[in-house]
Structure 1
Amino acid sequence: MNAATSTAPAIEVVDLICGYDGEAILENVSFTVRRGEIFFIIGGSGCGKSTLLRHMVGLNPPRGGTVKFFGHELGLNDVAARRERLRTFGMLFQSGALWSSLTVRQNVALPLEEYTSLSKREINEIATLKLAQVGLTGFEDHYPAEISGGMKKRAGLARALALDPEIVFFDEPSAGLDPVTSRKLDELVLQIRETFGTTIVVVSHELASIFSIADRVIMLERAAKGIIAEGPPRELALNSRDPRVSEFLRRTDTLT
C-alpha cells in the first residue's frame, strides 16, 4: 500500500449519479467516510438510501461519478480488481438473505469457500468462530427457518464478517425487528467497530439507532435528488435550520 492509499479515507464518493431505466434518482452525490467510522445514510422512504448503497458497492453501475475504497476505485470493468476489492467489505441485507437450504454455519462458510483456498475443516472452524462473535453459539446446525428474525440478522452479519472485511454495509438492519432486538443489534455493531476497527456504513431511518451509534450521517431528500444535510445527528437535530432535517430528526423525543 502506498502513502496515498494509506492516508485515504475508507470511502470517497465524488459526483455520483444513481438511477434505473434512464431515470436519475440521485445526482452529483459527494461525501467521504472515515476509517473506523459508523456512518449512516438516512432519509425518508423513497429518497434513494438503498439505491445509493447498491451503486456504491457495485450491485448497480453508477451513471456517473466515482467511488473509491481506501483510494482505489472498485474496478467494474476489471474482473480481477473488482474481486479483490469485494474481499475488503461485507454486506448485511435487510432480510439477512440466508440460503434456506443451508444451515447457519454453511451460510457463513459461503464467502470463505468462494474467496479462499482454505480446507473444509478450517472453513468450518472460522464459520463457527464468526457465529460465536455474534452470539449464535449452539445454533450452527440450525436452518434459517428454525431461528428468529433477530438471529437471522446476526447470522447474516456473521457471514458478512467471514472474510474479516475492512468495511461492512448494512441495509436497514432494524427492519422487522422489535425495539429490544434492534438495540442488541446496535450494541453488536458498536462491539465490532471497537474490537476490529471496522468501518460501518448503515442505511436506516430508525432514530433510536441513528442517535445511539452513528458518528456522522448524510440525509438524502427525494425532491433534492441528493444530500441536504451532513454531520453528527444530534448536532443536526439541534442546530439545522432546514425544516426537512429538523422535522425528520426531531419527530420523537429521542433527544431528551
Structure 2
Amino acid sequence: MRASESRWLEGPVGDEYIGAEFYRGYAREAGLRAVVDDEDAGLLADFDDLAGERFDPSLVRAGIRDFYERTARYDLFVRIGWSGPFRHPPRALIYLVGRNVGQFDIPLSAPAVAMENELIRLEDPLTAEAPYVGWLRRSAVTGEAMLAGLYTTCELPRARGRFFKGVYPLPGGSATMIFRPENRPDGSLALLSDGRRFGEAGYYRVHRTDGGTLRVTRVPIEEAVHWFVDSEGSLNAIHTFSFLRSRFLTLHYEISRRS
C-alpha cells in the first residue's frame, strides 16, 4: 500500500541503530526541532486529545492525566515477568538483537529495573506544534537505551474516536502499536490494542521501501496497559503482552512524581 493511502500507519523508521541518538537524527531529517530541556513535557499536550464517543477523559483520575501531560516529571521502576509457552521467541530476539540495535533491550535476567525517563518534543520550528513526542527509557544502572518510542494520537479507518499511537523505530521500519482508550469504573485508564481487523487498534509491523510504499503486517500480539492509583495513592501501570491470547510478558510500572 502507498503511504498516502494509510496516514494512520505513517511514522518514523530507523536505520541500523536506534538508541538515544535517533531523535536528533529524525528531527534533522524531518525539519523538526528536538526540545530536550522541557521539565513539563508530556506524552500528550492535552489529555483531552483522546476524547471520543466511547471515551471520556474527564472520568480519568487526575494523577493519570498529570502523568500523560507532564511525563518528564516522573520516575519509573518496572518489575518484569515472563510467562507462558510463547515467552522464548521474544526473549531470544531481545538477546540476539535488542542491545545491538538499541531498541526493546529489556533485561532478561533481572526481575526489576529502575528507568531514567526522558521526553523529547519534536516540534515544528514555525508553529511549535509537535507531531510526535519522543519517550526514551534508559536503564538507570547502565545508562543504555531500553525503549525508544515516539507518541501521538490518530484516527483509524475502521473505528471511531481518537487512538493513542506508539511508534518504535526499527532498522528499515517500525513496530507501531495503536491503542484504544477505555474508561474503567474506578477512574482508572485502560489502553487496549484488541482490534480484530486491519485498520483497528493493534500491533503493526511496518517496513518502508525507497519508493514510499508501506509493507505492513498485522501481528497477533495484543497489548493492554492498565493505569491505576493503588490504595496508598501511588500511580501504577500494568502492561501485558499476549500472542494468540496467551500472555508472555508483564511489565508492572511503579511511578513516582518528583517534587
If the TM-score is normalised by the length of the shorter chain, which range does it land in?
Answer: under 0.3
TM-score w.r.t. the length of structure 2 is 0.26
Identify, as 1 or 2, the structure richer in helix: 1
When the two structures are superposed, what TM-score results if normalisation uses the length of structure 1? 0.26
Compare the two structures and name the one with the higher strand fraction. Answer: 2
